[in-house]
Amino acid sequence: MRSFDMSPKAVGLYGLTALLALVELGVLWQAIHPNVSDDYRAYYITRTTTCLPQPVTAAYTLGTNVDFTNAGDIGAARELLPCGWERPNDDGRQSLGETSRMRFAVGPAQDLQLELVLKGINLNDAGDRDVRLFAGEQPIGQAMVGAEATDSFTFTIPASAIKDGYVDLRLDFPNAIETSPGIHNTYWRSVKLISARLSPA
């Protein structure tokens, strides 16, 4: 029976090959199971949202009315909008995509009242805009905004929706308007955000 002896060079080559194979397997595993945030996964991987939140200060004083038109404090207003909004113009900020977000630093948990002034976008005679509001994951109400109409809406935010001193609002637009045939849904439109106020309930 012949013995099989490998030279140190051959052993090293086999070891290097095995190491490279393990590295490749590790890369493949990361590609299949990436270690990313839920927001990143929803936006880039599963494509279940059109809004990828960006860092904002969320600085806010309860009871303050925030003007989101270009006549307001644009910098301060921008720090309340993590994603899903265009730059301001004279009648507010247009929503972008099928979801937009807002974030407010509100301090200790308490019931709050939210007042939103919205204007419906009218494209292709699409009719009323449907807006579903959530505080965190809790649904807090629905608004139907007429095309080209400006309306004020009031919602109650329960104390249980305040996490670590912040209220995270999500506005979903189930009938957002496709602005042109085939355009990606991150560019669909629904409403213009004119102003917002949070006050103790």
For the chain, which residues make up each domain, given as ranges?
Answer: 8-35, 50-200
pLDDT in the model for residue 198: 98
Which residue spans within the chain are E strands per DSSP? 65-67, 93-94, 99-105, 112-120, 129-135, 138-145, 150-157, 166-172, 191-200
Q: How many CA atoms lie within 13 A of 130 on its CB side?
A: 7
Tell me which residue of 146, 148, 149, 159 sits closest to 200, measured CA to CA.
Answer: 159
pLDDT in the model for residue 34: 62
- Cα(194)–Cα(153) distance, integer angstroms: 12
pLDDT in the model for residue 3: 53
- If phi > 0 it is left, if psi is from -120 to 50 it is alpha, else beta; for residue 84 that is left
What's at 145, amino acid-wise? V
pLDDT in the model for residue 199: 98
At 2, is the secondary structure helix, strand, or coil? coil
pLDDT in the model for residue 12: 67
Neighbours of 114 (CB within 10 A): 22
- Cα(89)–Cα(71) distance, integer angstroms: 8
88 within 8 A of 72, measured Cβ to Cβ = yes
171 within 8 A of 80, measured Cβ to Cβ = no
pLDDT in the model for residue 4: 53
pLDDT in the model for residue 13: 72
Topology (CATH level 3) of domain 50-200: Jelly Rolls (2.60.120)
Q: What DSSP character marks residue 44?
A: I
83 within 8 A of 55, measured Cβ to Cβ = no
Paired residues of 123 in beta bridges: none
| CA Rg value for the chain | 25
pLDDT along the chain (201 residues), means of 10: 61 71 64 66 73 94 97 96 96 96 97 98 88 97 95 98 97 93 90 98 92
